Each structure stands twice: as structure tokens, then as C-alpha cells.
Amino acid sequence: PGSCLSLCLCSEAAKTVKCVNRNLTAVPPDLPSYVRNLFITGNRLARLPAGAFAAQRLPDLSALNLSGNHLQAVEPRALAALPALRQLDLSGNPLLSLSPQAFGEGGSPLEELALRGSLQDQGVLLSLAAMLQSGALHNLSRLELADNGLLLLPAGMFTALPALRQLDLSNNSLVGLRNVSFQGLGQLQTLNLSDNSLGVLRNSTLAQFRGLPSLRHISLGRNAWVCDCAIEDMVAWLKESDQVEGKEALTCLYPEKMLGKALLKISSSDLNCSMPVNLPSQLQTSYVFLGIVLALIGAIFLLVLYLNRKGIKKWMHNIRDACRDHMEGYHYRYEINADPRLTNLSSNSDV
């Protein structure tokens, strides 16, 4: 690669370098040390190797945009030599490998991370979860994971992000949040869950939302809400909470009779839920019924035995006689084998 001026647009006054759509296959080697905002986008950087910026001496680089570069691998320590990095955008890259040690052993001061459309591979999602759980990005305040087709999130993925304020999970395929823990996110202010496949929010999730003191903006639009008895608690939460933006526009998708009905206008009569059954009493009733059935089967069995008592008695006598004859035969042969005289007599008789 040539100099910065031949490959990129470099502005010392703006502290910015833009290397856009230059078909670069590696990070330019002579980036100016004054750069604070670096855009390397629309190129062909298949991999970001260890020490990709180590020789650059970029002490002031705070914003790095690597989106749309066909990146497949971010290797260990690839971003370790950027002590001032606060913003990183890896969106639009078909990542197949993302090392949990990409920022080195000591972690990073990173505050904003964008991975829009870059987590199509399940292994990369698990690597990201390992990175977040390790505490390497404990200063992270904004995390963007939209447009990734995510069905489920790894358990405990966000537990080591105490400074997180904005979490974007929009435009995925999330079907539930049962294994997702928001506990410990005391600074979380904005949560975007729109454009997913959520059918209901369970009581455990609602309780977590209630317990986040700073959470004031939750987006739930364009989800596949299933308006049956399971959604009753969520409807009650929506009516009492001021956390959900645009909650008046949330509507049912299933079942067909509830299609298009606003969640805030749902009543218990619409759901036609029967009175809840106490589980212990239900189990007790089942055990009683099972006991009655077993007792009836036992009575029928005893009745059959009684009606066939003569035949059974004759059958038992026949078995006893057969066993006795068999044992007498064994006893006779044993006496012959034990007495040599009887053995010789038996042999002579055979001759």
C-alpha cells in the first residue's frame, strides 16, 4: 500500500482519516499519528490479524469504523494497541471468528460496540458472549446487536456490563427471553426489542424490568404477540408501566379472533381464561383416581381367581405331582451313581 494521501482522505484539522471503497486488503501501514476518527469501510479486509495497529502508534484514536469490509476473522490482540479506543463499528461483516482476546489481556476502554448484521454464525455469538462475560469490556455503555437473525441469546451474556446504558436487539428473531438476565444492568436506560418474534414476556422478565431503576425506554413494536391466558400478566404490566414506548400501538397477532386487537384494550373476558387450578389439589385428585382404578383392577383379579378356584387347585396339584416325579427320577439316578455295585449291575443289564 502507498501513503495515506494516495489511499485515503486525510484531514489533520479534523483529526480524521477515511479509507472508503479502496479495495484494501490490510490496514494502511502509515496512518498519521494525529488521527482520532478512522474510517476503513467498504474494503476487502478478510482478517484483522494480531497487532494490526501495533506499528501505527495511534495514541489518540478513539473512533474506529471497520464496517462492510468482508471481515471474517478478528484475531487475538488485533485491537490491543489502541489505548484510547472508545467506539468500534464492525457492522456488515460476515464474521466467522471473533477472539474473546481481541482487545488483549487487560481489556479495553471501549464504550460503544456496533455489530449490526455481523453475528450470523452461532460460534461468533458465543465468542462475543465469552468476551463480554470476561469483563474485558466493562466500560461498555452502548451495544448494538440488531439485524443478526438471533433466535436465543447465551445465558448470562450481559451480566458483566455494569455501565451499559443502551442495548439494541431489534430486527432479530428472538422467540423468548427466559434465559436472558438483565440483572446488574443498573445503568440501562434504553432497550430495543422491536421487530422480533416475541409471543409473550414472562413474569420473570417483567420483574427484571421493574427492578431496573434507570430503564425508561423499552421498544416492543412489531412482535408476534400471542393473546391467550399467558399474556394476562404482561397486559397488566403494560397498563401500569411507563417504560414502554408506543405501547398503544402493540396489537395481537394470534389467535385469529384476536388479530389486530390492542394489548391495552384486552380484558379477562376477551381471553376467556378459566379459574386457575391449585396444582397440589389437582395432583391429589389424580392420585385418588389412580388409587380407585388400581383397587378396581385388584378386585377383578381376585374375583377371577375365586371363580376359577377349582381349576387352579387342580392345576397346582398337577404341577406338584410332575415336580415330585421329576425329583424322584433325579434321586434314583443319584443312588445308582453313588453305589458302585448298582452301577456295575446297571452296566451288565445294559449289555
For range 157-183, the mean pLDDT: 93
Q: Are strands 16-20 and 37-41 parallel, antiparallel or unpaired?
A: parallel
Per-residue model confidence (pLDDT) at position 1 = 41
- Give the pTM: 0.76
Kindly tell me if the per-residue pLDDT of 168 is higher than 70. Answer: yes
Q: What does the pLDDT look like over 202-261, one tens digit per residue?
A: 999 999 999 999 999 999 999 999 999 999 999 999 999 999 999 999 999 999 999 999
Angstrom CA distances, 78 to 45, 47, 57, 73, 294, stand at: 13, 10, 14, 10, 70
Q: Is residue 273 part of a domain?
A: no
For range 33-52, the mean pLDDT: 94
For residue 302, the enclosing domain spans 278-309
Per-residue model confidence (pLDDT) at position 175 = 93
In terms of Cα–Cα distance, which of 35, 128, 122 is closest to 85?
35
Provide the mean pLDDT of the chain.
88
Kindly tell me if the per-residue pLDDT of 321 is higher than 80. Answer: no
Per-residue model confidence (pLDDT) at position 41 = 97
CB-CB contact of 113 with 144 (8 Å): yes
Query: What is the tally of structural domains in the chain?
Result: 1
Kindly tell me if the per-residue pLDDT of 43 is higher than 70. Answer: yes
Q: Is residue 90 part of a domain?
A: no
Q: Is residue 194 part of a domain?
A: no
Per-residue model confidence (pLDDT) at position 351 = 43
Q: CA-to-CA distance for 57 and 54, rounded, in angstroms?
A: 7
Per-residue model confidence (pLDDT) at position 129 = 95
The pLDDT confidence band at residue 277, using thresholds 50, 70 and 90, is very low
Angstrom CA distances, 306 to 295, 302, 312, stand at: 16, 6, 9
Q: Is residue 44 part of a domain?
A: no
